[in-house]
Amino acid sequence: MPFGQVVVGPPGSGKTTYCLGWMSQFLKSLGRDVAVINMDPANDSLPYPCAVDISELISLEDVMTHLRLGPNGGLVYCMEFLEKNFDWLKEKLDAIKDKYLLFDFPGQVELYTHHNSVKTLLEQLTTWDFRLTAVHLVDSHYCTDPGKFVAVLLTSLNTMLQLSLPHVNVLSKVDLIEKQGRLAFNPDFYTDVLDLGYLLNLLQDDPLLQKYKKLNEALVGIVEDYSLVSFIPLSVEDKESMLRVLKCVDKCNGYVFGSMEDRSLESLMSCAVGAEFEYEKIKDVREKYMEMDDVSEIG
């Protein structure tokens, strides 16, 4: 029974870096046999060895050249082409036995919010008895801009509903979280998505956004009505941070209860996913990467 992660997210969120070295190397250090699956036809110079590469089937460059499509239309075409060639993917995946899989998907947001090819592909993998969790990476610097953070919340919610997989939202690059500016609130406000009314107050302070008050209230209300979105902070160079994400993923896809689990030290750590206090999730962000003197408290 194959287990794995479906790594998605906007361009620049760190998906390839996550798959490339840090999660792949981290898993190998814990004793897992890992295989990376490149599902991005635009990845023409892979920085990691991959067990399956979609560019063997179709490449974005060829599509753009022969069909005269732009990069966005070309990626949609590539995913639709893969959808019509499931047999190719099935044959490639059947050749990988007893490995933990990392699927590195493209960064085009539309593929996960309203286009159906990726959704259909993941549904097909599920019927083949793959136990997968979607790991949705979002660059943490969006937390410094209230408007962008609301957009991130909506994108994350839409992706969760569209993909219909166990889902983990991750704020990546938290070691750079205040590079674009200071946070208005404590990091748990952003990871746990607390009372978004405080964000509305900040949005209304922006003269350009004041006239969209009712629209902003409606958008925030959508996120709060579903109450599904929360984030785990991640710095790929921090082992504790990586382990925290891994424990959450293992709980979602059932790896800790699967036949591949050998009850080693890694398994004991993974099974303890619920044992830590919520503060543990954000303490590294507060202590290592933020200046806390002017950050507002919520609650």
31 phi-psi bin (left φ>0, alpha ψ -120 to 50, beta other) = left
Average pLDDT in the 232-236 region?
A: 88
Task: Considering only residues 236 and 243, tell me which one the structure prediction assigns the higher pLDDT.
Answer: 243
Average pLDDT in the 106-132 region?
A: 93
Task: Considering only residues 98 and 270, tell me which one the structure prediction assigns the higher pLDDT.
Answer: 98
Residue 268 confidence (pLDDT): 44
Average pLDDT in the 223-244 region?
A: 88
Kindly tell me if the per-residue pLDDT of 288 is higher than 90.
Answer: no
Q: Are 41 and 80 in contact (CB under 8 A)?
A: no
Lowest mean pLDDT among 5-9, 201-205, 225-229, 287-291: 287-291
* Element housing 6 (H / E): strand 3-8
Q: Are 13 and 109 in contact (CB under 8 A)?
A: no
Q: What distance in Å separates the CA atoms of residue 231 and residue 172, rounded to the nearest whole number?
A: 10
Average pLDDT in the 217-243 region?
A: 88
> Strand, coil or helix: what is 286?
helix
Residue 209 confidence (pLDDT): 73
Average pLDDT in the 62-79 region?
A: 94
Average pLDDT in the 91-116 region?
A: 92
pLDDT in tens, 246-281: 999 999 998 876 555 444 445 444 444 444 445 455
Kindly tell me if the per-residue pLDDT of 286 is higher than 50.
Answer: yes
> Strand, coil or helix: what is 136?
strand
Helices (H), the chain: 15-17, 23-29, 60-67, 71-83, 86-94, 110-113, 117-127, 146-163, 187-191, 197-204, 213-226, 239-253, 265-271, 279-289
Q: What distance in Å separates the CA atoms of residue 170 and residue 163, rounded to the nearest whole number?
A: 16
Q: What distance in Å separates the CA atoms of residue 102 and residue 209, rounded to the nearest whole number?
A: 40
Q: What distance in Å separates the CA atoms of residue 92 and residue 86, rounded to the nearest whole number?
A: 10
116: confidence class by pLDDT, cuts 50, 70, 90: very high
Kindly tell me if the per-residue pLDDT of 54 is higher than 70.
Answer: yes
Kindly tell me if the per-residue pLDDT of 297 is higher than 60.
Answer: no
Average pLDDT in the 89-98 region?
A: 92
Task: Considering only residues 242 and 276, tell me which one the structure prediction assigns the higher pLDDT.
Answer: 242
Residue 102 confidence (pLDDT): 93
Kindly tell me if the per-residue pLDDT of 65 is higher than 80.
Answer: yes
Residue 298 confidence (pLDDT): 56
